[in-house]
Each structure stands twice: as structure tokens, then as C-alpha cells.
Structure 1
Amino acid sequence: MIRADRRHLVRTLADLAAQQGVGIDQYTRLKPYAAPGFPAPVSSQGAHKRLYDGEQVDAYLLGKPVPALPEGEDDSDLLDRHECAALIGVAPDSWRAYKRDPSLKASRVEVGGVEHWPRGAVKAFQASRPGKEASATAGGRPRNSGDQVPRDMVPALTAELLDADPALTAAAVSVRLGVHRDTAQQALIRLRADRIADHIETHPALTPAEAAAQLGYPPGQVRRATARAETVLRARHVAPYLAGVAAALHAAGFTTQEAVPEVQLPGDDRVVAAIVLDSDRAPAPAVVWDERYGWRTAASRLHPVAKGAALPPEGGAVRYLPGGITPPPGDVVAALTPTDT
């Protein structure tokens, strides 16, 4: 977490690389931040993007004692999605739905390209969040379960039902939340897939089917979830690389702020990601990465990834970049940088 009143001290890996006068590619290859005694990240364990406290890093680089961060809890502490989920007792994938609540949207801040929320805002949301009855009354019908709930709240409410009953069916979700069965089925597939992937990361020797069984998911209900879990794991594996490319694009002046690209899983069997290039110097509206083909430019900032992740033909604003599936971030920048001819 980012302790209260220390937001201005936060530095990304790109910031640390610039501080040392090297490129982000070289910095992440040498990994000086892995040396003994280097300050621990202030980002949560397992976060896709490392954030550091600048005061601690400066002290370390000067050979001085690294100052301790403030202890205790403060309502102004900034929490990332993993920490928010832990605070209210839900899985991180549930937080993706909860964060759309108007009160949380209003309090969200972005630090180093990562979403954070003040501890006080999360606690206030927890005190009044919808769906609290779902987990408290797992043995019976939740109060107001016949009401139609907003679609963006379905994943979070379904997550609480799944916590109480691993064998939960889409039909049961449909009845208890008052949503269409297809909506319930999609929520269950995604939730189970994320949790299967989480379990495999903790127990790498397991197959998706074995992880599902250990989580108590009936074999007849998880075929699509186990397939998606494999895709989720690939997405998580490539996330640091995509973050490195985003940092390099920002350092090149192609984006106005450094942000981790949002990874998409079209069809549950592919990994794609888009980075909008929103600066005046940008050579294209956006770039898209596809695990099958690598990088390409996109003609639209609003919809860089076509429906179903269909591949557009090359021409006009669409150009497929050389270098294979995962070229170094610097090579992506070089391929995008206009050259004088």
C-alpha cells in the first residue's frame, strides 16, 4: 500500500531506470531492485506493476539506512485492488465489479499507472455495500433476491455465492440474483477460471482440472472454466512484459501517462491487449498485442481491438510490427518511431 501522504514519493521501475540513467530494458534485465537490502515494493504481493517509495530508494542508493515506512492504519492510505479486496473479504476478481460503484469511482486515484483507493473510502463502501446478505444467508434465499441487480454487480454478488457453495450452478445464481441464466453462467465461468488460475499459481504442479477438483467444483460444470483458466495464466505471465512496453512507450512520449494495458481474453482462448497512444507525438492511435501475432498498430483509440479480436488487414493506419511475438520494449518503440527517408 501507499502510506498516507506519500503518494508524491512513489516511483515506478521506469522512474528508477531514469534515475540511474539507463533504459527500462536494461534496468529490468539487470534487476538491481532484486539485490539484498533494496527496499521492498510498496505495491502488493503479486501486483503486475512494481511501485517503490522514493525516499527509501534514495537512501539505499546513497548508502544510508533505509527509513521505515509509517506503521498503523490511516484512512488516507492508498490501497490497490488486491488490498481493497482483502480489506472487505472478497477475491480480487470481485473487486473488479465493486470498483464500479459510484462512491468508489469518485475516490479512485491512479498512481504510477495503477488504480488505488483510499482506505477510508473502501471502509465506507464495505459498511453499506450491496449483497452482504448473500454470504450471510447462504443457507436460504437472500433478502430482495427477486430484484433485478445491475449487471456490473453480478460478478461480485456471484463471487459471494460461490464462496458459500463451490458447487453453485448458473440456475441457482439466476434465481437468487434475478438475472438471465446466460449472464449467471458467464459470471460463474470467469470467477471459477480466475480462482483455478490462482490455485495453480500457488500449486504449480496441478492441472486446471485438478485445481478445480481441489476447489470443490463439480467436473461437469468446469470444462469452459478450466479452458479459460489456462488463458488467464498466460495473460498473467505476459502482463509484466506488456507493462514494460507501456513504460517504454510512455518514456518515448507516445502516451501522456504510464498505464498498465488492460488485457482481454476474447473467446476465453486468446490473450490480447491494447495501449492507447494519446499524446500529440503518437505515431498511431493505439497499438494492440495478440499472443498469436505480436504487435500491430490500430486505427481507433476508442475501439483498438475489433469485436472478437478479429485481425484487420494491413494497410492505412494498421501496420504489423516486426520482431516476433514479444520483441523487447525498445524494439517496439523503434518500430513505431518515424524515420526520415
Structure 2
Amino acid sequence: MRPLIYDAAQVDAHLAGEPLPALPAGPHPDDLLTDAEAGAVAGITASTVRADAVTGLMDRGQERHGRRWWTRAAAEARAGREAQYKGRTAGAKDLAPRIARTDRRVREVAAIAEAVEAGHARPVTADELAKQYGVSPETAERLMAKADEARDEDRRKS
């Protein structure tokens, strides 16, 4: 819900018991707008208004009533500029999933498991791997599980 912000001249006139001056008929450059309203004026999203304020591409706005407000003039000035970051190009063809690099520790644990199977090494525990890599026993168990998955996949490929 938008908090009510009153025209200072009208408040002063009311408190003095004088007739209220007329409000401006149309938009005024000093009108205070929320991020969504400023974005609508500028033709951008509310999150872009906030991001531009942080990065200095738009004025920082003013803090009032626990909320940040931007002037209509600042929003209109922003409307004339292109965005610095346009995001991903529509129709981009590089949408294929990236190849995930295997953690070197997974390869090392898989090599240990291969050596154990071949009879060239003794089995290791998750606690031993945790100490060796400086990780928690749970992380060592995950490394062992991923090493088993990698070995199974290598066998399927062969």
C-alpha cells in the first residue's frame, strides 16, 4: 500500500486555517514515485530502477517513510538512455548445457577405489578422506559416492 504523502503548501494552509491552494493539474517533475512507478515512466522494470540507483546510472532517490522514492524528472531522464546490460540476446544458440568439470578429488578417490579393486591399495574410510582433504566426513562420503558414479559411467562407456 502506498503511504499518503501530502503537498506541503496544502498542509501549511490547512494548519493556518487558510484556503487550500490548488494541486497541480498534471504530472510535475518533483512528483515522488515508487520504484515501480518510476520504472513505468522510464520504460524499465522496478528492479532496474533500484539497480541503476545503486550503480549511479540514476539518482539514488530519497528515503521517506521507510521507503525510497524517485522524482518524476529522474525517471524521465532515465527513459532516454539505453540499458547498460541488455541480458541474453533473444534467440541465442549457445543454450547447450555446459560441461561440468569433475572435482579433482572425485578423480583421486576413484583412482584409489580402482587401486583397491586391483589389490594395490587398502580401502580408505570417509574419516581418512575427510582428514586428507580437510573436509567433513559427510563431504568425504559425497566424494566417495561421486567417485563410484564416475567409475560406473566409465564402465558403461567402455
Whether TM exceeds 0.5 here: the answer is no
User: Highest relative contact order (Cα 8 Å, sep 6+), 1 or 2?
Assistant: 2
Q: TM-score, structure 1 length as denominator?
A: 0.22
